[in-house]
């Protein structure tokens, strides 16, 4: 929540979840989001079913992303690209600072590569 001379601005948590999810999915090599593991606790976290967990502290955002990657990519390079793209998207589109973007690779999609 941010206050200016013209009034109050609030950002719904769903906006942060959607921004992080769509930005991650746009990175080449990311096939899908994986559900956030963690049993009952994850049910109360916004975006957990979409592979995104967002924690907001004041105007700072911490992001956890759970991804499924394509089998033919460099995992480290894709994870770094996701981190930088998601941080930049949240900072530029929403105007909040990002303290961290943690990427969790939950699976590799071999699709039709394995017969």
User: What does the alpha-carbon distance between residue 31 and residue 27 come to, in Å, rounded to a whole number?
Assistant: 9
Q: Would you say residue 9 lies in a domain?
A: yes
Res 74 pLDDT > 50: yes
> Which pLDDT score is estimated for 6?
75
Residues 6+ apart with CB under 8 A from 87: 63, 98, 101
Total domains present in the chain:
1
Q: What is the pTM of this model?
A: 0.83
What is the tens place of the pLDDT at every residue in 24-64?
Answer: 999 999 999 998 876 544 444 554 558 999 999 888 999 99
Is 98 part of a structural domain of the chain?
yes
Is the residue at 60 inside a domain? yes
Q: 115 in a domain, yes or no?
A: no
Burial of 24 from C-beta contacts in 10 A (0-12 / 13-18 / 19+): buried
Q: What is the CATH number of the domain that holds 20?
A: 3.30.70.1350
Structural domain that includes position 18: 2-109
In a domain, 99, yes or no: yes
Q: Is residue 114 part of a domain?
A: no
């Amino acid at each position: 929540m941010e206050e200016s001379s013209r009034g109050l601005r609030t950002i719904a948590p769903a906006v942060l979840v959607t921004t992080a999810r769509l930005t991650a999915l746009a990175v080449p090599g990311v096939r899908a989001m994986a559900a956030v593991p963690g049993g009952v606790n994850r049910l109360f976290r916004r975006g957990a079913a979409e592979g995104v967990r967002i924690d907001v502290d004041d105007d700072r955002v911490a992001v956890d992303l759970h991804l499924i990657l394509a089998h033919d990519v460099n995992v480290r390079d894709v994870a770094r690209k996701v981190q930088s793209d998601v941080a930049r998207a949240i900072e530029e589109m929403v105007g909040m600072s990002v303290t961290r973007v943690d990427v969790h690779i939950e699976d590799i999609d071999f699709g039709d590569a394995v017969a």
